[in-house]
Amino acid sequence: MSLGLLSWLCPAPHVYTPMDEPEEDSLTELASQTEKRYSSFRKGERKQMIDTLHDLIEESSKRATSQYTPSKERVRWVKLTGQLIWYKDHVLRNYDFERMAIEVQQLKKRLDEDEKSKTPVPSFPPLREWRKPEPETVDEKKPENKEPEKAEKKEPGLYPESE
């Protein structure tokens, strides 16, 4: 078996065993650390980009309004100022969407934790559907054989026509 001249520099061939597998806790911890580093890096880069854009916007607007700028160049400076403002707005909007996505992830985690911590809710039978009550039909007719006093009793003093 010929291994070659520099084979002694390479580590020995490793046989994979289940014991070599990292634990889930360390993986989640590593992922959270990586995520924090990445977000702080993005935050720093974004701040630097916004500061640079702000400086460029100021400079281009000064050039656009300066009395010493030739009229042929003034249109270009105004156009550049507008493009820089649009780009800065675009960067800030993306930051808002990223921030909102992070907040949604945090809310989902909290919701999952709350669902895990709660005891299971007993199931109830489903409520019957609500229906509009049907109007009661009045099929009662006044019997013709009844005496008028029994059919309608009027309180004294309330109906002046009858007195």
pLDDT digits (tens, 9 = 90+) for 45-94: 888 999 999 999 999 999 999 999 999 999 999 999 999 999 999 888 88
Helix (H) or strand (E) holding 145: none
Could you give the percent of the chain with pLDDT greater than 70?
Answer: 66
Residues 6+ apart with CB under 8 A from 151: 142, 143
Number of independent structural domains in the chain:
1
Phi, psi values for residue 69, rounded to 5°: -80, 130
Any domain includes 46: yes
Q: Is 4 left (phi over 0), alpha (psi -120 to 50) or beta?
A: left
Could you give the percent of the chain with pLDDT greater than 90?
Answer: 24
Any domain includes 126: no
Domain span at residue 51 reads 25-116
- Round to whole Å and give the CA distance between 11 and 81: 58
Give the chain's radius of gyration (CA, Å): 41
Would you say residue 3 has pLDDT above 60? no
Any domain includes 47: yes
Would you say residue 144 has pLDDT above 80? no
Higher pLDDT, residue 58 or 127: 58
What pLDDT shows up at residue 98? 80
Any domain includes 78: yes
What pLDDT shows up at residue 113? 85
Any domain includes 62: yes
Any domain includes 58: yes
Any domain includes 152: no
- Round to whole Å and give the CA distance between 106 and 110: 6
Report pLDDT digits (tens) over 9-31. 555 555 555 555 556 677 778 87
Any domain includes 73: yes
